[in-house]
Amino acid sequence: MRSFETALHLVYLAAATCFVLGLHMMNSPASARRGNLLSAGGMAAAVLAALVAVVRHGAGTGVGAVVLVAGLAVGGLGGLYAARSVQMTAMPQLVSLFNAVGGGAAALLAINDALHAGSHGLGRSIAVAVGLDVIIGSVTFTGSLVAAGKLQGIVPGKPIVFPGSRVVNAVLVATFLTGAGLLVADQSNRLALAMLALAALAFGVTMVLPIGGADMPVVISLLNAFTGTAVAMAGFVIGNTVLIIAGALVGASGGILTKLMADAMNRSIMNIIVGGFGTGDGGPATVVAGGVQVREVAVDDVAIQLAYASKVIIVPGYGLAAAQAQHEVAELAQLLERRGIEVSYGIHPVAGRMPGHMNVLLAEANVPYPLLKEMEEINPEFGRTDVALVVGANDVTNPAARRSGTAISGMPILDVDHAKSVIVIKRSMGHGYAGIDNELYTAPNTGMFFADAKAGLAGLTAAVKTLVG
Amino acid sequence: MSGGLLFDFTIFVLSVLVGFEVISKVPATLHTPLMSGANSIHGVVLVGAILITAGATGPVGYLIGFVATAFAAANVVGGYVVTDRMLQMFRARRRPEPAAAAATERTSAGQGS
């Protein structure tokens, strides 16, 4: 028995090692896939070891075994189907959904433990872990579901604010903290457990509802970090080190990622959670303030500029992802490349619906990753670029960010305005989520091509083809 | 705090530090697969779900065990499969276009014009 426990522990340790090395291999696109497979291998080993331990221990009932197999089958097949069938544009929703179930499972582990507290009695410090696990897991569960709903369009993307929502939030927080306190004092207190779980579930909803669609990527990343932390707490509760290591790893990495994203938008995480001003995509068209005129260009003018350029940089943004126009932009780029034009893509860190999402979409459209340039890399190149083609990106190109005193001051931007000519494909003069005018649109070297991203790009491709035969 | 818990806490803190170190070097290009990959890793909660389900004795225990196992299994399997699907698309060169592309729903119409 003793040697079996040792072996089990070593397998868990090997799994944890695989997780760390796997994440590390995600440093570069070339090794990332192997890294993920290594991590999956570690996971398979850990799960198999747990199953072997359960069988060997033989403590469970027959019903328990049936329940276990049924749970594995239902969850595994469901997850497999969702992962296989999801559209790449719907990736953020799916990640959010997996996040929700992970958080839910972590919370259930703690609830189960607390329900047994009467019989074998928890230690006080374990009760703290139970409380934290239930709070974080429950908030993540409902919060991620609401976030997924917003991204999918089931729940309106606009911030939903109702009168007194801050008061409701404060009451919910007070309720689950009180519940946690009571549970730590008396671990068999079922009422405290119920208070804790229900208030935390409700708080997940009221926390995410007021956050706008454009901020969802940051929220998903934050909730991902939460789930990791909840899993680590579950590890404390059931005394399992692999849960602690993996959970802490994800909690820390998710935290870093969230901060990177918030920095790229020049917002603090607190501001995003409390602020609730991200209005998402497609606000109503507004007249440019001060009566400044924009220069509207027709499809043929744009086609001529592109066809006779020698260097073109494409700047894709949220609008391109929303219109699912990644295949169209790749087709146009390839057409230009065949004419010997140097084409690259300038990707802002928060382009798309989650960080790095644009890279996934363009990879799906068969764009080789060396063409996708990060902001620091591409910015010096705008100066010697003939045409910068901005598709559905707004605030991340606004030169106003370089001045102080604007809503986006200090936000790192793509220096699109340094290009000889700028073409902006956009449906209307609507604002980005920052709600301010984009000075790029009124610059003398900018032409506005009003069209839906998908239709506009397809039109451009056709026009370039007819132009050059 | 008992000795065991103190030991667990030490592991927790060190893992947090490892998490910071490992992640801060990943390029923005890979942030989505990274988030998805990290997401699959917290599916390790499946190990815990398996252990509590096997130890369950009453209807409430079975119900909690079933839901927790199903949730965690979906997290693990779905997470890894979807991350792999994303990562296999990241290539340094273009995939050969014509015949193989028939598998995707997009038609390669208009090539000749």
CATH number, residue A318: 3.40.50.1220
User: Are A301 and A427 found together in one domain?
Assistant: yes
Give the pLDDT score at A16: 95
Distance of CA B83 to the CA centre of its chain: 7
* Pairwise CA distance, residues A103 & A142, whole Å: 9
Q: Is residue B61 part of a domain?
A: yes
Neighbours of A356 (CB within 10 A): 28
Cβ contacts of B48 on chain A, cutoff 8 Å: 105-106, 109, 234-235, 238, 240, 243
Give the pLDDT score at A112: 92
How sure is the predictor about B99, in pLDDT bands with cuts at 50, 70 and 90? very low
- What letter does residue A354 receive in the DSSP assignment? S
Per-residue pLDDT tens for A299-326?
Answer: 999 999 999 999 999 999 878 887 889 8
| From B28, B75, B97, residue closest to A374, measured CB to CB | B28
User: Are A458 and A347 found together in one domain?
Assistant: yes
Per-residue pLDDT tens for A168-196?
Answer: 888 999 999 999 999 888 888 889 999 99
Helix (H, G, I), strand (E, B) or coil at A389: strand
The answer to whether the CB of A221 falls within 8 A of the CB of A352 is: no
Q: Which residues of chain A fall below pLDDT 50?
A: 119, 277-290
The answer to whether the CB of A407 falls within 8 A of the CB of A435 is: yes
The answer to whether the CB of B95 falls within 8 A of the CB of B106 is: no
* Pairwise CA distance, residues B101 & B89, whole Å: 13
Q: Is residue B11 part of a domain?
A: no
Name the percent of chain A in helix, strand, coil, to the closest 5: 70, 5, 25
Neighbours of A56 (CB within 10 A): 11
Closest approach of B76 to chain A, Cα-based (Å):
8
- A15 to chain B: nearest residue by CA? B44
Which backbone phi and psi does A424 adopt, to 5 degrees? Answer: -115, 120
The answer to whether the CB of A218 falls within 8 A of the CB of A269 is: yes
Most B CBs within 10 A among A66, A366, A376, hence the mutation to make, goes to: A366
Strand partners, A387: A312, A421
Per-residue pLDDT tens for A416-429?
Answer: 999 999 999 988 87
b (16+ CB within 10 A) / e for B12-25: beebbebbeebbee
* Pairwise CA distance, residues A104 & A99, whole Å: 8
Sign of the four-CA dihedral A448, A347, B83, A260: negative
Helix H segments across A86-215?
A: 91-115, 117-120, 124-152, 165-185, 190-208
Of A49, A67, A85, the residue at which a domain comes to its end is: A85
Distance of CA A113 to the CA centre of its chain: 31
Q: Is residue B58 part of a domain?
A: yes
- In this predicted structure, the answer to whether residue B53 has a pLDDT above a threshold of 60 is yes
Sign of the four-CA dihedral A439, A444, A449, A450: positive
Q: Is residue B73 part of a domain?
A: yes
The answer to whether the CB of B69 falls within 8 A of the CB of A112 is: no
Give the pLDDT score at A283: 37
User: Are A249 and A299 found together in one domain?
Assistant: no
Give the pLDDT score at B25: 64
Closest approach of B38 to chain A, Cα-based (Å):
6
User: Are A398 and A422 found together in one domain?
Assistant: yes
The answer to whether the CB of A243 falls within 8 A of the CB of A133 is: no
Q: Which residues contact B109 (CB under 8 A, 6 or more apart)?
A: none
Closest approach of B10 to chain A, Cα-based (Å):
10
Choice among A103-107, A417-421, B84-88, B98-102 with the minimum mean pLDDT: B98-102
Interface of A with B in 45-104 (CB under 8 A): 46-47, 49-51, 53-54, 57, 59-61, 63-65, 67-68, 70-72, 74-76, 78-80, 82-84, 86, 88, 91, 94-95, 98-99, 101-102, 104
Number of domains in chain A: 3
CA distances from A85 to A16, B6, B82 (A): 29, 44, 9
Number of domains in chain B: 1
User: Are A293 and A158 found together in one domain?
Assistant: no
User: Are A104 and A239 found together in one domain?
Assistant: yes
* Pairwise CA distance, residues A447 & A421, whole Å: 8
User: Are A36 and A125 found together in one domain?
Assistant: no
Give the pLDDT score at A154: 84
Q: Is residue B7 part of a domain?
A: no
Range of the domain at B77: 32-89
| Maximal C-alpha separation, chain A | 82
Give the pLDDT score at A349: 79
Q: Is residue B16 part of a domain?
A: no
Of A220, A249, A279, the residue at which a domain comes to its end is: A279
Give the pLDDT score at A233: 95
Give the pLDDT score at B106: 42
User: Are A306 and A258 found together in one domain?
Assistant: no
Q: Which residues contact A72 (CB under 8 A, 6 or more apart)?
A: B50, B69, B70, B73
Q: Is some CB atom of chain B closer than 8 A to the CB atom of A316?
A: no
* Pairwise CA distance, residues A118 & A190, whole Å: 10
The residue whose two tokens read 């499946």 is B46
The answer to whether the CB of A94 falls within 8 A of the CB of A138 is: no
Which backbone phi and psi does A446 adopt, to 5 degrees? Answer: -105, 135
Cβ contacts of B19 on chain A, cutoff 8 Å: 248-253, 255-256
User: Are A320 and A428 found together in one domain?
Assistant: yes
User: Are A195 and A167 found together in one domain?
Assistant: yes
In angstroms, the first-to-last Cα distance of chain B is 75
Cβ contacts of A248 on chain B, cutoff 8 Å: 11-13, 15-16, 18-19
Crossing angle for the helix pair A29-57 and A2-25, to the nearest 10 degrees: 160
Helix (H, G, I), strand (E, B) or coil at A302: helix
**Catalytic: A415?**
no
Of A55, A85, A115, the residue at which a domain comes to its end is: A85
The answer to whether the CB of A400 falls within 8 A of the CB of A426 is: no
ipTM of the modeled complex: 0.83
- A58 to chain B: nearest residue by CA? B54
Give me the half-sphere count of Cα atoms (radius 13 Å) on the Cβ side of residue A282: 11
In angstroms, the first-to-last Cα distance of chain A is 77
Range of the domain at A450: 288-468
